Amino acid sequence: MDKISTMILAASLIIIMLGMGLSLVIDDFKRIIVYPKAIFVGLTNQLIILPLIGFAIVLIFPLKPEIAIGIMILAACPGGPTSNLITHLAKGDTALSVTLTALSSFVTILTIPFIVNFALKHFLEEGQMIRLDVVETIIRIFVIIVIPISIGMIIRRFKEGFALKMAKPVRKASGIVIALVIIGIVIKERDNIIPYFQQAGIVALLLNIATMTVGYYSSKLFNIKYKMAISISIESGIQNGTLAITIAVVLLGNTEFAITPAIYSLLMFFTGGAVIYLGIKRSKATNGN
């Protein structure tokens, strides 16, 4: 992608993170004390189990290096605002979902460079080798994630009415921009998109379903309430595809690495829709009893 497209992509992620900040308050972070078990299980799934499942999948399937790296970039990313919306519609614990998204967004600033560098080293041949500068990557992700979230929270703190009013338009605008970015990636990689989709579609869907399943049952293993288990399941399986695409295009300068996150960003709406359906169905059955 050219420089202007790259800047637009980075700007879209900043807008998305600003929108997330507009929905956050300090009490969201206090839930670490109120629900320590749910927070611990949720973050363990996102920060440890998710990358392990991603790595296991790319070892099992014979994938092109670009697709394998794309899966690992996805597995390194936190949940995104979409996971909060899906949780809300699925009758899960939205407050827990927002908290996990916020916390994982901050923590993965430190873990992303190491996971991505591991993937690059493992899947690229010596002559193709590229690496992320750890310190520079942390700083750049900090700029496009933490600063916008913090600005959004400050606006929410002092101008709550304005923040609540702007949150929805900001989400819509960012959604439109990322849709255009995905279309741009598909157009640029049109010669590769069909064979890549055949490989990446299966493994991206598998990553999504496997991590949501593990997230839910690991929650039940620790006797976490159903609504919280739903939140942890969705947070474990619905990743910030925009951030993954940004890492591939802006930080690594390779749109081929972005194909898997782009496909994943489309597929997660179908699995998210299935979870919403099941959540609403259970909610109606529970209320009916």
pLDDT tens profile 5-50: 667 777 777 777 787 777 777 776 777 777 788 889 999 999 999 9
Residue 79 forms beta bridges with which residues? 239
User: Can you tell me the distance from the alpha carbon of 145 to that of 14, in angstroms, rounded to the nearest whole number?
Assistant: 7
Give burial (CB, 10 Å; 0-12/13-18/19+) of 113. Answer: buried
- Mean per-residue pLDDT over the chain, rounded: 82
Q: What single letter denotes the amino acid at residue 239? A: Q
Listing DSSP states for 52-114 in one string gives: HHHHHHHHHS---HHHHHHHHHHHHS-B-HHHHHHHHHTT--HHHHHHHHHHHHHHHHHHHHH
| Residue 199 binned pLDDT confidence (cut-offs 50, 70, 90) | confident
Is pLDDT of 214 > 80?
yes
Total residue count of the chain as it appears in this document: 289
Q: At what angle do helices 255-288 and 226-237 cross, to 10 degrees?
A: 170
User: Can you tell me the distance from the alpha carbon of 278 to that of 271, in angstroms, rounded to the nearest whole number?
Assistant: 11
Provide the CATH topology of domain 3-279. Answer: Na+/H+ antiporter like fold (1.20.1530)
Type and span of the H or E element at 192: none
pLDDT value at residue 218: 93
- CB neighbourhood size of 274 (10 A): 13
Q: Could you read off the pLDDT of 100-112 as tens digits, one per residue?
A: 888 888 888 888 8
Between CA 201 and CA 141, with CA 207 as vertex, the angle to 5 degrees is 95
pTM over 0.75: yes
User: Can you tell me the distance from the alpha carbon of 38 to that of 44, in angstroms, rounded to the nearest whole number?
Assistant: 10
Which residue spans within the chain are E strands per DSSP?
A: none
* Contacts (Cβ under 8 Å, ≥6 apart) of 163: 22, 23, 152, 155, 156
Q: Which residue has the tokens 């990322």?
A: 178
Is pLDDT of 126 > 90?
no
Is pLDDT of 174 > 70?
no
Do 105 and 78 touch, CB atoms closer than 8 A?
yes
Q: What are phi and psi of 79, to 5 degrees?
A: -70, 165
User: Can you tell me the distance from the alpha carbon of 73 to that of 69, in angstroms, rounded to the nearest whole number?
Assistant: 6
Do 112 and 141 touch, CB atoms closer than 8 A?
yes
Do 142 and 60 touch, CB atoms closer than 8 A?
no
pLDDT average, residue stretch 53-65: 90
User: Can you tell me the distance from the alpha carbon of 265 to that of 278, in angstroms, rounded to the nearest whole number?
Assistant: 21
Share of the chain above pLDDT 90, in %: 17
